[in-house]
């Protein structure tokens, strides 16, 4: 039973039933929104400072001690900007698109476990829900690109759809490995069954899932949707003001949500010694996010056909092989000796990644015209 449900039961004993039902829901919404917005602001600050460090400069350090108020100033600036809609834009779709991008990200947090029992709804199909909801943002991105009546935005929108469809498959297949081992789709169960974090038990699955999610949140080296050196700002080229702020929030909200899911599925969620669970969970989220920022500061971008090839020829076969290996191990290996599995899977991961890096080249590209 989650904390929220206990609260609801207690309220039901003193208040009328409808109030006991609505009040926790409102509290939940406020808490999620507050959590997402504060984390996003912290992440924006963190990313800027970290990028500064990676790029031998200081990063923002003027506003407040060590520049901690810079993201707030940025938010204010963006909100006060004039809202421009292109003359030939499809106005309704242009207006709805940012909401469609941002709303699913908030919904993801409904099933993210922050601690023991600290989860809004412990859906028995939690992870399926996450996969289903998170791909909704793509629709919003496509709407934005289409409605802007801008060719850069249109290219980005088409890239977005191709990219999301391709990377969804390896992501889901690597999640299946986790689900096989846990025997449940509930996020809480997934965390509780990780006495050894799944990153050790399924290193290959983790690599595939991580790369797939990085691609889904449009982060470097898969940031083709916002490839500023090619298509200016991608799908939000024609957005400004509050609508742009929603896209910006969506981008970082995505990062927070996916960092949370990576932490839940593979890093043992809120489990950890000494510190309270919520702190452990936040530490893991921030660690994942810092790793993503590191990648962003280091790697160049893939080309669009290489991106597709990477998903279909590299990640997908590896994910299928990983699934088979995990299934065989769950079936035949004794459950009492997980460390055998750790050793075996690290060996498998090493061999397979080496093999693929030798067989697979990200070449090609020229078309006869």
Partner 1 sequence: MAIRTEPFILNMGPQHPSTHGVFRMRVTLDGEVVLDVEPVVGYLHRGIEKLAEGRTYTQNIPFTDRLDYLASMTNNLAYVLAVEKLAGIEVPERAEHLRIIMAEMMRIASHLMAVGFFLNDLGAMMTPVLYMWREREKLLDLFEMVCGQRLTYNYMRVGGVSHDIPEEFLPALKRFVAEMPGLIDEYDQFLAQNEIVLARSKGVGVLPEDLAINIAASGPVLRASGVQWDIRRGDPYSIYDRFDFDIPVGSAGDCYDRYWVRVQEMRQSVRILEQAIPQLPQGEVCAKVPQLLRPPVGEVYGRIEAPKGELGFYLVSDNSIAPYRFRIRPPTLINLTALRDMVIGWKVADLIITFGSIDVCLGEIDR
Site residues, partner 1 (CB under 8 A): 51, 54-57, 151-152, 155, 158, 220-221, 223, 227-232, 296-306, 361-363, 365-369
Q: Which of 145, 136, 53, 72 minimizes the C-alpha distance to 101?
A: 136
Angle between helix 17-54 and helix 3-14 axes, rounded to 10 deg: 150
Closer to partner 1 by CB, 124 or 298: give it. Answer: 298
Q: Which of 37, 72, 67 minimizes the C-alpha distance to 51?
A: 67
Closer to partner 1 by CB, 167 or 266: give it. Answer: 167
Question: Contact at 8 Å (CB) between 145 and 153?
Answer: yes
Closer to partner 1 by CB, 58 or 124: give it. Answer: 58
Estimate to the nearest angstrom the gap between the alpha carbon of 348 and the chain centroid. Answer: 26
Smallest gap, in angstroms, from Cβ of residue 299 to partner 1? 6
Smallest gap, in angstroms, from Cβ of residue 228 to partner 1? 5
DSSP helix, strand, coil percent of the chain (3-state; round to 5): 75, 0, 25
Smallest gap, in angstroms, from Cβ of residue 358 to partner 1? 12
Smallest gap, in angstroms, from Cβ of residue 196 to partner 1? 31
Smallest gap, in angstroms, from Cβ of residue 293 to partner 1? 10
Closer to partner 1 by CB, 124 or 361: give it. Answer: 361
Closer to partner 1 by CB, 52 or 241: give it. Answer: 52
Closer to partner 1 by CB, 209 or 310: give it. Answer: 310
Estimate to the nearest angstrom the gap between the alpha carbon of 292 and the chain centroid. Answer: 11
Angle between helix 241-266 and helix 91-108 axes, rounded to 10 deg: 30
Distance, in Å, from the CA atom of 242 to the CA atom of 249, rounded to the nearest integer, reads: 10
Smallest gap, in angstroms, from Cβ of residue 62 to partner 1? 19
Listing DSSP states for 346-364 in one string gives HHHHHHHHHHHHHH-----
Smallest gap, in angstroms, from Cβ of residue 218 to partner 1? 12
Question: In this structure, what token pair is assigned to residue 289?
Answer: 């996010």
Distance, in Å, from the CA atom of 235 to the CA atom of 252, rounded to the nearest integer, reads: 16
Closer to partner 1 by CB, 100 or 227: give it. Answer: 227
Q: Which of 194, 212, 174, 35 minimizes the C-alpha distance to 112?
A: 35
Smallest gap, in angstroms, from Cβ of residue 57 to partner 1? 6
Question: In this structure, what token pair is assigned to residue 182?
Answer: 């846990």
From residue 113, alpha-carbon distances to 196, 319, 324 in Å are: 18, 25, 28
Closer to partner 1 by CB, 231 or 341: give it. Answer: 231
């Amino acid at each position: 039973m989650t904390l929220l449900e206990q609260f609801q039961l207690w309220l039901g004993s003193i208040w009328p039933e409808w109030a006991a039902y609505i009040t926790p829901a409102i509290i939940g919404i406020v808490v999620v929104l507050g959590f997402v917005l504060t984390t996003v602001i912290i992440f924006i600050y963190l990313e800027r400072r970290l990028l500064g460090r990676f790029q031998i400069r200081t990063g923002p350090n003027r506003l407040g001690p060590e520049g901690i108020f810079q993201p707030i100033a940025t938010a204010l600036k963006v909100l006060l900007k004039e809202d421009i809609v292109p003359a030939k834009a499809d106005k309704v779709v242009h207006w709805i698109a940012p909401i469609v991008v941002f709303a699913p990200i908030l919904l993801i947090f409904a099933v993210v476990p922050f601690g023991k029992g600290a989860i809004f709804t412990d859906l028995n199909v939690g992870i399926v829900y996450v996969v289903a909801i998170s791909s909704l943002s793509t629709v919003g991105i496509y709407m934005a690109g289409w409605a802007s009546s801008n060719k850069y935005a249109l290219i980005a929108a088409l890239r977005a759809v191709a990219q999301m469809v391709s990377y969804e498959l390896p992501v889901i297949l690597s999640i299946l490995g986790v689900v096989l081992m846990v025997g449940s789709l509930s996020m809480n169960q997934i965390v509780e069954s990780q006495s050894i974090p799944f990153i050790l038990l399924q290193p290959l699955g983790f690599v595939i899932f991580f790369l797939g999610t990085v691609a889904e949140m449009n982060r470097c080296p898969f940031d083709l949707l916002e490839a500023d050196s090619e298509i200016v700002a991608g799908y939000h080229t024609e957005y400004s003001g509050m609508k742009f702020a929603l896209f910006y929030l969506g981008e970082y909200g995505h990062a927070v949500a996916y960092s949370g899911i990576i932490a839940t599925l593979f890093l043992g969620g809120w489990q950890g010694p000494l510190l309270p669970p919520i702190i452990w969970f936040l530490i893991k989220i921030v660690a994942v996010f810092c790793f993503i920022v590191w990648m962003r500061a280091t790697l160049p971008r893939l080309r669009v056909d290489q991106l597709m090839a990477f998903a279909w020829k590299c990640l997908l076969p590896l994910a299928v092989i990983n699934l088979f290996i995990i299934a065989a191990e769950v079936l035949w290996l004794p459950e009492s000796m997980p460390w055998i599995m750790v050793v075996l899977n690290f060996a498998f991961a090493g061999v397979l990644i080496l093999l693929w890096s030798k067989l697979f080249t990200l070449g090609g590209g020229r078309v006869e015209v």
